[in-house]
Structure 1
Amino acid sequence: MGAERLSVVVTRRLPEAVETRMSELFNVRLREDDVPMTREELVAAMKDADVLVPTITDTLDGGLIGQAGDRLKLIANYGAGFDHIDVSTARQRGILVSNTPGVVTEDTADMTMALIIGVTRKIPQGAALMAAGKWEGWSPTGNLGGRIAGRRLGILGMGRIGQAVARRAAAFGMQIHYHNRRRLRPEVEDELGATYWESLDQMLTRMDVVSVNCPHTPSTFHLLSARRLKLLKPAAVVVNTSRGEVIDENALTRMLRAGEIAGAGLDVFDKTQKLNPRLYELPNVLLTPHMGSATLEGRVEMGEKVLINIKTFADGHRPPDQVVPSML
């Protein structure tokens, strides 16, 4: 399949350098407005294209993929997460799916630490005080947060990002604990100074900070359920830079309002429901608009991975970042 004949449809605006390179390599249709495609537009794109380049804002369920044209052979996702794509249906239709793993690791880990520090040191409360013009000067007992060093951090999901968070947190003097589907190799555990908990419940009862770094899959939906959130110490802090669906958001909101959890730093939210407006009202919550991977460098690197996946496929080879069943 010659690259010059490959028809590629991109669903969102991408960094200019990425769009320019795509235009050089493929017969590409770029998005003029930076708004998500409607379902009808996605159906039309999948009927016309050899390759679709979607993002997290595109829900490619079985019904949608079932309407794809015979030409569509690759869904080259712009992003590491692929829980918005029905990969199994795509495989049944002979459509490959690729993603962009590894690119967002360092940026997301930085954001995780920013949220941990922000919530623990009460930076949102301090910023709000300044913005409202209500600060009356320094006080020995004013705006007291907590010290990061010495706190126990429980990492839920010890993949690339979880390990990058562990390295940063250890440098801040935190004690590293983790729960994962599979235990890390002993030498990796030793390097990270990490303690493994086979029981998530047991880990949660002992942690000062819990960081969600696992992907959203059917088995991780509401992994932090109302029951599990109740296991946390009242002084605990919850941080999520992965996927909102991993936490029971309404239960978390209720407990934060009741003072049963000390604080939360959330960069992601449950897409299956509207964002709970009560979260906005809470002074002990730091909310950011899914900024975990939002660096110019990271977004350009994501685009470069998409380009490599499409170019490799166009040359008749397996995309290097193909999503395979063992990842689901």
Structure 2
Amino acid sequence: MAFENLQKVLISDSLDPYCQKILQDGGLQVVEKQNMSKDKLIAKLQDCKGLILRLATKVTADVINTAEKVQVVGRASTSVDNVDLEATTRKGILVMNISNGKSLSAAELTCGMIICLARQIPQVTALMKDGKWD
């Protein structure tokens, strides 16, 4: 799917101002409006082809079905649980997770925990706290 005609994007939640600058430097018109009701979100999306959100905005089937021009939804977080994926799939809207900072931290923590379990660190720590040195 090509997005060369993606002209206007709505940022509906609080994001780093640098995000807006990157989009504008790329030639996109950016509208930033937060804390909207579902009706206001639908109204704002009528002339937008992209939507970027975080946690607060809920992209329900009603929103998707009435947002005729939207081609892409970007979620700046680790999941897309506030986006109706069935509705976006039916309309051919691409949904992207555009943040990997927390994903990297979660992966690092998981690797660390696996090493702890492999070396039996929790068990040895408990023995040492009980005054045993095996």
The alignment's TM-score, normalised by the length of structure 1, stands at 0.32
* Partner residue, 2:25: 24
Aligned to 1:94: 92
Gap regions ≥5 residues in structure 2 = 124-134
Deviation track 1:236-284 (CA, whole Å, cap 9, x = no partner) reads: xxxxxxxxxxxxxxxxxxxxxxxxxxxxxxxxxxxxxxxxxxxxxxxxx
Conserved 8 A contact 1:80-1:101: yes
Equivalent residue number for residue 65 of structure 2: 66
Shift of 1:88: 1.1
The count of aligned residue pairs is: 119
Alignment RMSD: 2.8
Q: Distance in 2 between matches of 1:167 and 1:72?
A: 38
Q: d(CA) in 1 for partners of 2:74 and 2:110? A: 30
| TM-superposition CA deviations, 1:30-87 (whole Å, max 9, x none) | 23xxx42221121112222111112121111112211112x11111222221011111
Between the aligned partners of 1:103 and 1:24, the Cα distance in structure 2 is 23
**What is the 5 A alignment of 1:208-223?**
none
**For residues 91 and 170 of structure 1, what CA distance do their matches in structure 2 show?**
36
- Find the counterpart in structure 1 of residue 47 from structure 2: 48
Task: Letter of the 2:49 partner, please give it.
Answer: D
| Correspondence list, 1:192-231, <5 A | 193=118
In structure 2, what is the equivalent of residue 75 of structure 1?
73
Seen in structure 2, the aligned counterparts of structure 1 residues 168 and 52 have a Cα distance that, compared at 3 Å, is same
Once the two structures are TM-superposed, the CA of residue 23 in structure 1 deviates from its matched residue by 1.8
Matching of residues 233-248 of structure 1 within 5 Å: none
- Matches of 1:44 and 1:96 in 2, distance apart? 20
| Aligned partners of 1:45 and 1:52 also within 8 Å | no
CA distance in 2, matches of 1:13, 1:102: 17
- Structure 1 residue 97 displacement after superposition: 0.8
1:8 positional shift = 0.7
Note the residue ranges of structure 1 that are not aligned, 5 or more in a row. Answer: 110-160, 177-192, 195-206, 209-328
Name 1:138's counterpart in structure 2. none
> Residues of 1 paired with 2:40 and 2:76: CA distance?
18
- Structure 2 contact 77–99 (Cα < 8 Å) conserved: yes
1:83-113 CA distances to partner (integer Å, 9 max, x unpaired)?
111111111012111112532134xx4xxxx
**What is the TM-score of this pair, normalised by structure 2?**
0.72
